[in-house]
Chain A
């Protein structure tokens, strides 16, 4: 028996590692070279909460297939999702392994580090389920999904937490170290390591916040195992509701068990009560460590006695004394008593929830506003900019303090509208890792305080590449919906706003046209400026044609306020394709000829000099 479980456990570790690396590959893909099928079968889309979120956002059952599958899985095998598929859970298991390794590696064993690790880490004991905390966070998650404040999930759901660690620590560190090594090698004439495109660095607050998550989860894992999974994690709490009634369950074989307690010490979910031979299935993540470690082979897998009872209609005789978590008092699986919630816990949890939601729900009014962050009054904004700035009615309300007031934040193409983006994005950072020009960056208060860690488009680092649609392929929650690269060409996320009084052509009287040369859609036309003999040209923006990609803003040489900035749109539009008839400036002497492929060569001497 014991041997089978050892093999099963190894099997679990293999699958978990494969899935962990499949999902992490997108965060480690600093050269954006993953093959195409990778994105067609986006592994992050198979995760529990993102898949539910996408199902609700797109209204398609197919998008939620992972959610449905894993729920059914929980009814059959228990919370195998938590051990096999959840990247955050697997990350915790990896951290646990690393933390325990000094006490296991032979040359470290005798050192004080090895002794310290052996003494303090990985020694678990049974703890009763903290149901109040669990269902409180589950309640937040359910209400957040129901009322469209999914950004709250970003701080409790496992995948976004994992994503923040990967996207804000691992990806930038990897990219920066590749760049450093590449530079060092280039000094000795080796150019085989390519530098990463764009600026991979993240802001200190994002790095620090992710580091905080990593530190907290490392500490919790080393001391208390899957503590997070059984207190905060809403997925764990939700699956735990089903796993109580799963068809297959592990159980104690009383004839073999000698109550040595090895199973309890090795249970990272802290769900095995060796003294009473009891297992809390709402907490068990089906890691099979207890069964694999049991020296007597006293733990085995069996059919749920409750199910047997259901089918045979008889009282189950075979059920061994310890195996509990059968249908207890109420016949309804979701009944309060079955969930282990006391009469007092539930109202208290609901009250606390209400409080949190009320404070979060005021998002558009802006928590950030009260603190003078994000969108507030236009204090200081645009000081020193001559003339007034035109702000369209359909412009995004989010701007950055101290920048031009008509520069407004845009949401990434595919998100449809700013509202939908902010409601659906959990800040998992996978788009920031996928962004080829590295302009999607985690925000501090750009989206208001409630939008902390949701990515924004930072045009100071680069611009949204016209033919790239990487973020629309990567997003698992439906915050950025898929666009083909062809569809994306005409998605208008904002409008370039040109301010003549700031342009170098006017202020310095010199040529520039950097914006026009970078515009991918010919939305900027250079028209004559001033006296004709100066032959100066100044930009003119065809606003219908502009898609708001930020190329002009990025390249505009004027400091500190750019002469041309992107004003994001509340709701995305479709851009108009430029055609010659739109031209403002039509040189008179120009002949009407159709462009030809071959230039007619001068007949006699081909050389004009």
Chain B
């Protein structure tokens, strides 16, 4: 398929799908003040898709009020440059920080409990430190235990209490910015699993029914917004990544107020990209155990039809 032909078809397809989608949207709009719960975007760069998507969501001012402190939690787990798709796209993070300030945020903090030592280098190599700092945000370290404070998880089944990073405790606004990728243990890591970077003792989770712990923590963590970066989708050798060739550019993004729904949509994107490229395994929803567990705790819904979902194709 030639490029031009491809663009045409995608545009046609998008137009076709937009008509019924628009109808349901109109119906929901009466109940939900017209603003979508989730926006799915396809076809641009991570930063461009965010610009389009957040406008559809009603702008950043819907989530960030003047004078509020915003905490963003991208995935900065690994010492990999952006093309590996192992960390959140720095261009996207930069845009989010900028929009937060434009909406009147007092301060924007960014942190992650990186996987292992060398955290400072990971902040740098991922490009996220530069993205945050050049837009006026602050990178906060997450590598020392004294940054973490004990908290109880009231709804927790397996996880009753854990040490949480100071910034993640009762923030004004908390924006979760996971990257969608393959994971050797959890199969797929995205929004819910990204929260493992908010706590200190991950090993405890690993030996105490990890999927349940992930769901339990999500019932505790306040989340204002979940922005899934699926511009590159690492399909194999996750979560660290072996080489950029296993992370094809898929050009997706999800902006959602429901973290569980975001993971459900992300799982479906992962499966469709896996099928299209012939890499990885097209996992089904029931393979990803923590998603259902999180729904049981009332964190969100796995039924996308219950939500007001808007789909935008930029191609």
Contact = CB atoms under 8 A, between A and B. Distances in A.
A468 B42 contact: no
Contacts of A596: 245, 248, 277
B40 to A, nearest CB: 6
A462 B240 contact: no
A211 interface: no
Interface size class of B (residues with CB under 8 A): 35 or more
Contacts of B10: 601, 603-604, 606
A559 B206 CA distance: 11
Interface stretch (A21-29, A281-289, A382-390, A586-594): A586-594
A590 B109 CA distance: 43
A557 interface: yes
Nearest to A559: B207
A518 B116 contact: yes
A555 interface: yes
A514 B278 contact: no
Interface string B1-16: 1000010011011101
A585 to B, nearest CB: 11
A98 B107 CA distance: 46
B141 A194 contact: yes
Interface string B99-142: 00000000101000001111110000000000000000011110
B71 to A, nearest CB: 12
A195 B118 CA distance: 11
A168 B268 CA distance: 54
Interface stretch (A308-316, A332-340, A414-422, A503-511): A503-511
A554 interface: yes
Contact of A191 (B141, B206, B249): B141
Contacts of B251: 599, 601
B170 interface: no
Contacts, number: 187
Contact of A513 (B40, B183, B203, B279): B183
A511 B14 CA distance: 38
- Most B Cβ at <10 Å: residue of A463, A598, A603: A603
Contacts of A511: 185-187, 210-211, 289
A587 B281 contact: yes
Interface residues of A, number: 63
A197 B272 contact: no
Interface string A529-563: 00000010100000000000001001111110000
A437 interface: yes
Interface string A414-444: 0000000000000000000000111000000
Contacts of A522: 237, 242
Given A555-B203, A601-B10, A608-B271, A518 B209 contact: no
A436 B43 contact: no
A510 B245 contact: no
Contacts of A555: 115-116, 203, 206
A554 B116 contact: yes
Interface in A453-481: 462-463, 465, 467-468
B116 A551 contact: yes
A195 B237 contact: no
B246 interface: yes
B14 A605 contact: yes
Contact of B245 (A191, A468, A597, A603): A597
Contact of A517 (B14, B183, B208, B272): B183
Contact of A518 (B12, B166, B240, B244): B240
B299 interface: no
Contact of B210 (A510, A601, A603): A510
A353 interface: no
Contacts of A468: 118
Contacts of B118: 197, 436-437, 465, 468
A510 B289 CA distance: 10
Contacts of A31: 120
15 contacts: A31-B120, A186-B147, A197-B118, A467-B79, A513-B184, A520-B240, A535-B287, A537-B185, A554-B116, A593-B279, A597-B244, A599-B249, A601-B42, A606-B315, A609-B40
Q: Which 5 residue pairs across A and B have the least CB separation, nearest first?
A: A513-B185, A557-B206, A593-B278, A437-B117, A604-B13
Interface of A: 31, 179, 182-183, 186, 189, 191, 194-198, 436-438, 462-463, 465, 467-468, 504, 508, 510-514, 516-520, 522, 526, 535, 537, 551, 554-559, 587, 590-593, 595-609
Interface of B: 1, 6, 9-10, 12-14, 16-17, 40, 42-43, 79, 107, 109, 115-120, 138-141, 143-144, 146-147, 166, 183-187, 202-211, 233, 236-240, 242, 244-246, 248-252, 264-265, 268-269, 271-273, 276-279, 281, 287, 289, 304, 309, 311, 313, 315
Given A599-B233, A606-B42, A609-B265, 7 more contacts: A182-B141, A197-B120, A526-B184, A592-B278, A600-B277, A608-B271, A609-B309
